[in-house]
Every structure is written in structure tokens, then in C-alpha cells.
Amino acid sequence: MTELERHSYDVLVIGAGGAGLRAAIAAHEAGARTAVVCKSLLGKAHTVMAEGGIAAAMGNVWPEDNWKVHFRDTMRGGKMLNNWRMAQLHAQEAPSRVWELEEWGALFDRTKDGLISQRDFGGHRYARLAHVGDRTGLEMIRTLQQRVVALGIDVYMECTITRLLTDGTGEAAHGANRGNIAGAFGYWRETGRFVAFDAPAVILATGGIGKTFKVTSNSWEYSGDGHALAARVGGTLLNMEFIQFHPTGMVWPPSVRGILVTESVRGDGGILKNSDGKRFMFDYIPEFFKADTADTEAEADRWYEDKTNNRRPPELLPRDEVARAINAEVKAGRGTPAGGAFLDIASRRTPEYIRKRLPSMYHQFKELADVDITAEPMEVGPTCHYIMGGVEVEPDTAAAMVPGLYAAGEVAGGMHGSNRLGGNSLSDLIVFGKRAGDAAADYAKGLGSAPKAADGQIEVASKEALAPFEREGGENPYALHQELQTTMNLLVGIIRDADEMRDALAKLQEFKDRAKNVTVEGNRMFNPGWHLAVDLNNMLLCSEMVAKAALEREESRGGHTRNDFPKADPEWGSKNLILSEKDGEVSLVHKPLPVMPDDLKVLFEESK
């Protein structure tokens, strides 16, 4: 074996999406030697898929808006299960983080006064999403990317981390000892050669787990790497049952099913109709949101012009509500030919308006489905979009429960409670990305001597990664992956049932056994079969955590809907589910929610 390539840094960031890049910038600016490692090329991260905007109470459009309103919206959207401190920090700091992007060259759409324009979005009391047409995520990633380049931060592209390294001072698990973080180990996708990074602080910014589902808006990278990496070194995960199904994914053609149709379509006037032509969302307004939601079409339509004196259209209810409503309509036999609902903006806005406000959507439908959205309605249905659960972190520092490990963005849990509001993900990335970067740099600086990776860890990690090449005659990773996705979609999907989830867990057990037998053909040079075989282990672990937590939580709340427990249960509303893993066994405990201080509690009484 050739000598192992090794690099040494103070802070290593895994993932080059919004959170990862923002964290790297913060760590670099705090004086830490910082590097970013990512599975794809720089600038391709899933953040580019975010369309609508960045939620931040800047008050450019509505001077009445402030962090307290944003905080309240976020908590209510998350059905009060959010970590209150994270939601508070998020609401307070998001405006500064957005202004920072502007200072780094982002070109947001402007108001008449020349300020950053803000748009309406589901669950937000005021128009507060800073945006650029419907490609805000791209603007964010490009701005951060260009900032990273300008600062000269090292970026290791197309490099997959398979294991975190520790100093081995903790308990034994997975053939090595846990302990303080000492670095990370992975392979270059191009050559298949191994590489190790020595770094006392590692920030996970790997995004979500969407690729465990069949119908998803997420790219192949979303294989739950960060969740699994954290769990394998003893990190805990929180509320993995909460998965957001975005209500409007494309449903036709089949090859693009799941690709996102931005919520801005509804924010800009689009409405949902069933196959009878009925605007059905009025039938699905929950008690919780009745006071804020229009109950007649006339009022809903007036809202677009006069937001002060009218209540919001029900199409702009939080995502979980809309997703369930579409689901129910289709189930009742009122779905579209391809099994969704009609999303109609063509009959409500002029073609010029639609093309100006929603250029990417216009092209997406034109080019992928041959549908002209200025002339005909779109067919949409729920698609797996985002996991609210994730690595359990300390709110102020984004520190995970392993010394030296941090998590920011989708991979971290707690911020969004049981359901995330649209627009809060991009702001989450930059708020907690920065906090993670700052804290990691601080931690690294405060260490007398950096922890060293314990002997033998590299060997264990290499052996583990190469295992699929050692086996012969096993099954193909692609087939197993497809079965996993189908299972998760059908049995742990948008509506859940205890029996089905038990079936799913049995299936997952079987998949885990079969995964040990997966073989790959070819060599280590850019071999997607091998890459998938490695990622599959992460997806299986995340799937199991999702299914276990979902079976445990016997209520319906946000991104977790139980057929057998259709109501929210106040008892469960005060509990987090904490998951951990050791040597392949997942365990689960209940943990009380941190208690919100009184000065914040007051905000919820005022609003009633």
C-alpha cells in the first residue's frame, strides 16, 4: 500500500453547502487553519436547490416585523417542539447574516427603496424571505463559494469522508475506541485513494437523508453521512422521525418525480385544485391556524393585494398541513392522472408575471415535463424534502455530544422542531454555520495539544471501506438501494402505521445483513458502485433511526403523521427522542424538552 496522504488543520468542515461554507469562513476568520472537504465539486451542494428565499426579520417590507415574530412563527410552525434557544438565536441573527451575504456580493431582489426585497412564504406572519427570483439557494452558495475562494480556504473536492477519527480515550465501538475528535478519514472519488485529515475540531455540514426515500427532492449526496459519522463516534441524534414532505414536488414525468416546485408559486398566487376543479385547501384548515387563515376564496384572493386587512390563503399553511391535504385528496380519488393535485398559477397571473417571478419553474416544467406553466396547471404531490431531526447539538455553539464535533445545517437537529418553515433552512445554514465555525475555532485554539488519532483507526477505516471489493458474488448495491428507498417511501412515508413500521424495521434488518454482502465490480477509480456501497451503510443506519423513532412517537405532529395516533399529544409535546448507536445497535431514550423562559413564553400568549 502506498503511503497515506495526510493533511493537518485546526478545523475540518465536512460538506460544502451553505452551512459548511459559512462555517469555514467563520473558522478561517477566527484564525483557525481551516479546510472544507466535500463529496461533489465546489458549488454543487444541495443548497442550490433552495428556491424561495432566506427568512430573516429585516423589516424591509413590513416594519412591524422583528425577531420575536419570526421566533414565534418558527416555534408555531415546529409545533413547539423546537429547541427554543436555537429558534431564538436563529431569529435574532438571521438579518445580520443576510446583510453579510450582500456585503460579499449577493444580488438580492430589491424593494423600491433599494433595500433587500422580502417575499411571503407559508407560516411566516410577514413577508420576510430575502430572495433572488426563485434561485435564492444558488445565490447563497455562489456568494459563499466566492468568499471562500477570496479568503483562500482550502477545499478538497470530490472526497468522501467515511469515518471520523478519535484519540481513542473512550469506549470501544466499531473496532476502535471512541473519544475526542482527532480528524477524519476518507477516499478521493477520482482515484479511490485514501486520505486522512488530522484536525481537533470537525464540523459536520453534510445535509440530510433524503436519498433513503424513493420520491425525494434530494440529490444522491443526501445519504445521511453526517448523521452516521456522528452516531458511530458516540454522537446522539434527536427526533429522527420528523421528516418534511414538501407538498409540491413534480409528479410527472416519472423520471423527475419528487423534484421540487417552489412554494413561491403559492406565495405569488398559485392555488391548489383537485380533479373536480375544487380549491380544496379551505377544507383542511386546522384549528391551530384558523385565526390567521382566510376562510373564503374572496378573502384569500384579496390578501395578495391587501395583507393588512385580510388573512392568508390556506395554500400558505405550513408545509406539513398542505402535504397531508394533498395526500388526503388523492386518497379520496380526487387526484390528477399522475397521482397529485393541480397547482394552478396560469389562470391567476399573467404569463409575463409568471416568467419574471418564477423563471426557474417556468424552465423546469417546460424542459422536463413539456408543460407551459403560464398556460396550464402543474401536477404536484408530496416529496421527501428535509429532515428536522438530526445530530443533537448545544444551541449556542452547535457542539455535538462528542468533544470536538460540531454540526450545522440540516444535519443538526432541534432548530425546526417537528416541522420546518420554508425559508428557515437557508437562514439556519448561515446562522448556525457561523456559530459552529466560531465555536470550533475557539475549541481548537483552546486545546493545549491537539488529540492524535489513536493507533489502528486508519487500518480499521481502510478495511471497512474496501470490504465491498473483498467479497465475491454478492448483490449489486443499486438494487439494494432501490429496495431501501421503496420500503421507506411506502412504510415510513408521509402517513405512518405501527404495523407497517414494524414491517419496515424487519426489512431494514434484512437489508443490513444483505449490505454486508454487497459487492462491486471494477477498480477504485471513480467507481460509483463502490461509492454507493459505502454510502448505503449510512442510509441504512439513518433509516433505522427514522423508523425506530417514528414507531416510538405515538402521536401526530408536524412531519410525523400516525394513522393510528392522528392527534397531537401534549405529553409527547414535551419530549425529545434521543437516538444513539453502538456496533450496529440503535437505542432510544426519551428526554424532556428544554423549558422556554417566561419572557419568551409571553410571546405566545400575546398572539392568541
CA atoms of 111 and 115, how far apart (whole Å) = 5
Closest CB to another protein among residues 529, 584: 529
User: Quick check: is 302 catalytic?
Assistant: no
CA-based torsion, 148, 154, 157, 163: positive or negative: negative
Closest CB to another protein among residues 286, 529: 529
Closest CB to another protein among residues 46, 553: 46
Q: Which residues pair with 312 in a beta bridge?
A: 293
The CA–CA distances, whole Å, from 403 to 173, 410, 584, 589 equal 16, 20, 22, 21
What residues numbered 2-31 form the site for another protein, per CB under 8 A?
Answer: none
What residues numbered 64-93 form the site for another protein, per CB under 8 A?
Answer: none
Which is the catalytic residue, given 22, 76, 128, 246?
246
Residue 495's nearest CA partner among 548, 427, 549, 566 is 566
What residues numbered 387-416 form the site for another protein, per CB under 8 A?
Answer: none
Q: Does 220 bind another protein (CB under 8 A)?
A: yes
Least CB distance from residue 358 to another protein, whole Å?
A: 13
For 235, the grid coordinates are: 454522537
What residues numbered 270-309 form the site for another protein, per CB under 8 A?
Answer: none
What residues numbered 168-187 form the site for another protein, per CB under 8 A?
Answer: none
Provide the edge-to-edge strand list for the sheet that holds 243-250: 243-250, 378-387, 341-344, 271-273
Q: Does 327 bind another protein (CB under 8 A)?
A: yes
Q: Does 100 bind another protein (CB under 8 A)?
A: no
- Residues 174 and 454: beta-carbon distance below 8 Å: no
Q: Spell out the residues 6+ positions from residue 459 whose beta carbon is closer than 8 angstroms to its own.
A: none
| Residue of the chain from 22, 28, 46, 72 that contacts another protein (CB under 8 A) | 46
CA-based torsion, 31, 33, 38, 43: positive or negative: positive
CA atoms of 480 and 512, how far apart (whole Å) = 10
What residues numbered 334-373 form the site for another protein, per CB under 8 A?
Answer: 335, 338-340, 359-360, 363-364, 367-370
Which is the catalytic residue, given 72, 227, 266, 312?
266
Closest CB to another protein among residues 370, 598: 370
Least CB distance from residue 328 to another protein, whole Å?
A: 10
Least CB distance from residue 204 to another protein, whole Å?
A: 19
Alpha helix positions (H), 152-189: none
Q: Does 375 bind another protein (CB under 8 A)?
A: no
CA atoms of 234 and 578, how far apart (whole Å) = 12
Closest CB to another protein among residues 139, 225: 139
Closest CB to another protein among residues 290, 331: 331
| Residue of the chain from 8, 66, 397, 476 that contacts another protein (CB under 8 A) | 476
Which position has the grid cell 409535546?
573
Closest CB to another protein among residues 202, 547: 547
Burial group, residue 573, by CB count within 10 angstroms (0-12, 13-18, 19+): middle
| Residue of the chain from 11, 49, 181, 237 that contacts another protein (CB under 8 A) | 49
# residues contacting another protein (CB under 8 A): 92
State the first-to-last Cα distance of the chain, in angstroms, to the nearest integer: 67
Closest CB to another protein among residues 83, 212: 212
Per-residue contact flags (x/-) with another protein for residues 535 to 574, judged by CB under 8 A: ----------------------------------------
Per-residue contact flags (x/-) with another protein for residues 221 to 260, judged by CB under 8 A: x---------------------------x-xxxxxxx-xx
User: Quick check: is 266 catalytic?
Assistant: yes
Per-residue contact flags (x/-) with another protein for residues 492 to 531, judged by CB under 8 A: -xxx-------x---x------------xxxx-xxxxxx-
- Residues 495 and 241: beta-carbon distance below 8 Å: no
Least CB distance from residue 297 to another protein, whole Å?
A: 26
CA 318 to chain centre: 16
CA atoms of 321 and 79, how far apart (whole Å) = 12
| Residue of the chain from 105, 456, 566, 597 that contacts another protein (CB under 8 A) | 105
Q: In 10 A of CB 406, how many CB atoms?
A: 33
What residues numbered 117-156 form the site for another protein, per CB under 8 A?
Answer: 117, 132-133, 135, 138-139, 142, 146-147, 149-150
Residue 289 has φ and ψ, to the nearest 5°, of -115, 5
Least CB distance from residue 507 to another protein, whole Å?
A: 8
Q: Does 113 bind another protein (CB under 8 A)?
A: yes
CA atoms of 490 and 466, how far apart (whole Å) = 32
Least CB distance from residue 92 to another protein, whole Å?
A: 17
| Residue of the chain from 17, 381, 414, 417 that contacts another protein (CB under 8 A) | 381
CA atoms of 205 and 225, how far apart (whole Å) = 9
Alpha helix positions (H), 178-307: 225-232, 264-267, 297-303
Catalytically active residues, by annotation: 246, 266
